[in-house]
Amino acid sequence: MLTVSHPRVRRYEELTHGDIKQLDRKKTMVIATFSPLEVHGDHLPLGQDMFEAYMLAMHTAAACAEGNPDWTFLLLAPIPIACDSVPQVGSVSMPGWFVRDTAIRLLKPFALAGYGRLGYSSFHGGPRHFLGLEAAAKRLTRKFGVPTASLFSMVLKRVEEGNVFMEGLKKALSDDQIKIDVEGLKKDHHGGMVETSLALHLYPELVAPSWSEMPGSVPEAPRKGSNDSFLYSYEGEPSLVEMLQRNKGVLDSFKRAIRHFRYNGYYGYPALASAEQGKAMFEHLVELTNESVNEFIRIGAEMDVHSPLWKLRTIALSRPGNWIMDHLIMPMQRELHGEAGA
C-alpha cells in the first residue's frame, strides 16, 4: 500500500499520553476517516473507499505539513461507518443520521480538548453519507467553536469548477495514455476505470487479476444527458433550462443506479484502468485537497466547505427521510440483508 512518512503526520493510535501532552493542540489538525465496507465488483476489495479515503488523508496531511511547518496532523484509524452502500451481500450500511451522530461523538473529545482544526476524510459518493459528515462538522463548529470540515465535501465543491479526474489525467499523461473520455467518465460511477486505476496505483496487491477482462457495466441511458452525475461539472454557465435538464439527468441517473446495483457490483469500465491513470488522478486529488485544507487552516470557519447538495441535508438526514429511502426507494438492501440472515 502506497503510504507516506512525515515527522508531523502521526497515527493517533500509535501515540502515547506523553506524546499528546507535548502537542501544541491549537496548531494540530485531527482527521477521522469514515468510509464503508462495500462491494466494488468482483475485482476490488471491500475496503476500497476506506483505503482511498485514508490514503487521501495521509498524503494530503503530508503535503499540508510541508506548507505549514508549525502544524501537526493526527490521523485516526479508519471507521467503517457509512450510508448508501451498494445493496449487495458484503456491503455494510447505516442510516445517514447514524453517520452524523457517530461522527460528532468521535471528534467531540478533540473539540473539547481545544485542537485547532478537525476534519473528516471519506471517498464515498453516497449523498446521505457525505451530508452526514458535513452536518457533523457544522454541529461541532457551531457548538464548540473549533473549525471542522469534511475533506471530501471540499473536493466536491471544487468539482463544481471543473472535471477533476479528467483534469488530472490531462495534466500528467499524454493522449495515448488516457483510456477514457469525458462522456465515459460521467458513466464511471463505482468500481470502474477511476476506482480500479486508483487501486492499481495505491494497493495493486489487493486487486484481482480479473479486472482487465471485466466488461463495461453501465445501464443504457434513455436520452442524452440522463447519465449525468453531480460528481462532474461542465464548461460554461448553464441557462435555467440547461440547469433543470441537468438536475433531471442526475435524478434519472440516480434511479437507474439503484436498479442497476440490485444485480451488479460495479458501474463503469474497469478494463480501461491503469496504474498510470490512477497515479495522475490521485496526485491531482491530493493537490486540490491540499489547497482546500491550507485555506481551511488559514481562515477556519469562515471557509465555505459544503458540497453542492448541502441544501438537502434536512430531508436526507431525517429519520422519516431515511425510512422512505431504505424501505420504499431502496428496499433491495433490506431484502438482501434478510437473505443473509441479518
Beta bridge partners of 207: none
* Number of Cβ within a 10 Å radius of residue 11: 11
pTM for the full predicted model: 0.87
Comparing 120-124, 184-188, 283-287, the range with the smallest average pLDDT is 184-188
135: Cβ contacts below 8 Å, ≥ 6 apart: 100, 313, 317
Spatial distance between the Cα atoms of 278 and 321, rounded to a whole number of angstroms? 36
What pLDDT was estimated at residue 244? 61
Say whether pLDDT at 168 is over 70.
yes
Grouping H, G, I as helix, E, B as strand and the rest as coil, residue 310 is helix
Containing 341, the helix (H) or strand (E) segment is none
Spatial distance between the Cα atoms of 342 and 337, rounded to a whole number of angstroms? 5
Higher-confidence residue: 35 or 336? 35
Confidence of residue 341 (pLDDT cuts 50, 70, 90): very low
Measured in whole angstroms, how far is the alpha carbon of residue 61 from the centre of its chain? 16
What pLDDT was estimated at residue 242? 65
What is the mean pLDDT of the segment spanning 67-72?
97
Instruction: With beta carbons less than 8 A apart as the criterion, state whether 93 and 83 touch.
Output: yes
Comparing 26-40, 164-178, 223-237, the range with the smallest average pLDDT is 223-237
Confidence of residue 226 (pLDDT cuts 50, 70, 90): very low
DSSP state of 186: T
DSSP state of 161: T
Beta sheet of 28-33, edge-to-edge order: 9-11, 72-75, 28-33, 117-121, 148-150
Chain-wide mean pLDDT for the chain? 87
Q: Which three cell numbers stand for residue 244?
A: 433543470
Burial label for 35, CB within 10 Å (0-12, 13-18, 19+), is buried
What is the mean pLDDT of the segment spanning 242-256?
65
Instruction: With beta carbons less than 8 A apart as the criterion, state whether 188 and 268 touch.
Output: yes
What pLDDT was estimated at residue 339? 40
